[in-house]
Amino acid sequence: MTQSTPVIEVKDLHKSYGDLEVLKGVDLCAHKGDVVSLIGSSGSGKSTLLRCVNLLEDSQQGDILFRGESVKWKGEAKERQPADNKQVLRIRTKLSKVFQQFNLWSHMTILQNVMEAPVTVLGHPRDEVEKRARMYLDKVGIGDKADAWPAQLSGGQQQRAAIARALCMEPEALLFDEPTSALDPELEQEVVKVIKELAAEGRTMLIVTHDMRMAADVSSHVVFLHQGKIEEEGPPDQLFGAPKSERLRGFLSAIEH
């Protein structure tokens, strides 16, 4: 992998559910340190694209590359699926996903939640992982909640715990799927602050979001999806300040009102 090799690259990606084509030939690229935000109306394909990148969904056509390594496939069209499960696991462990609904294990403490995957999936020594987990909990501002249960935390604290859990895998890239949409406005700001700090550190991130202010603040590149295709993309000041497409202008004015 050279400096110019993207961490994540998607070429001509197509995804259907039955007869419904959700992604209609999408190209996407994120180099090291890029923060790419995916915006668009509900049903435009944003979250599906993220799930395909993370190999949680099988796409029917196109290429997905991680650090220049192409995902191997077998079968065609609706029969297509990854050909190498070890490759899938290896790629997934380098792409940590933060979900809209936190997805914390309710029967584990916050510390145990953060430690679980590095210990069981990566096989890292427990004492080393615990040190790392506590460091990341401190980093997201909830170090004092390590021994609490998820149900004892606010939504904003739970989402910050989920971010610490993603970071504890030491991923090459972070994938956020609507990380603030389940939160009240004041709790949302706690999470946005953490995401801004991660962006400032130069972490590679793909963010599906409805929060245009956050997209404008943290992104190096913004992609506007409409009905499964990229309608417009570019730097945030261009997309939000001088949108070229009529559809993007309509989308942004609908959000403002």
Evaluate whether 60 touches 16 at the Cβ level (below 8 Å): yes
The tens digit of pLDDT for each residue in 202-212 reads 999 999 999 99
The tens digit of pLDDT for each residue in 95-135 reads 999 998 889 999 999 999 999 999 999 999 999 999 999 99
What's the rounded mean pLDDT across residues 175-181? 93
Q: Rounded to the nearest 5°, which phi and psi values hold at 27? A: -115, 135
Average pLDDT across the chain, whole number = 94
Strand 61-66 versus strand 69-70 pairing type: antiparallel
Class for the domain spanning 8-256: alpha beta
This prediction's pTM: 0.94
pLDDT confidence of residue 154 = 94
The structure tokens 């030491």 sit at 170
CA atoms of 151 and 82, how far apart (whole Å): 37
pLDDT confidence of residue 117 = 94
pLDDT at 244 over 60: yes
Question: Residue 111 is encoded by which pair of tokens?
Answer: 């510390």
Cα 167 to the center of its chain, rounded Å: 12
Q: How far, in Å, are 67, 96, 117, 146 from residue 137 at the CA level?
A: 28, 16, 15, 7
DSSP 235-250: -HHHHHHS--SHHHHH
Would you place residue 257 in the very low, low, confident or very high pLDDT band (cuts 50, 70, 90)?
low
What's the rounded mean pLDDT across residues 174-200? 92
The tens digit of pLDDT for each residue in 25-69 reads 999 999 999 999 999 999 999 999 999 999 999 999 999 999 999
pLDDT confidence of residue 80 = 95
pLDDT confidence of residue 3 = 64
Per cent of the chain over pLDDT 70 is: 98
The tens digit of pLDDT for each residue in 136-153 reads 999 999 999 999 999 999
The SS3 call for residue 38 is strand
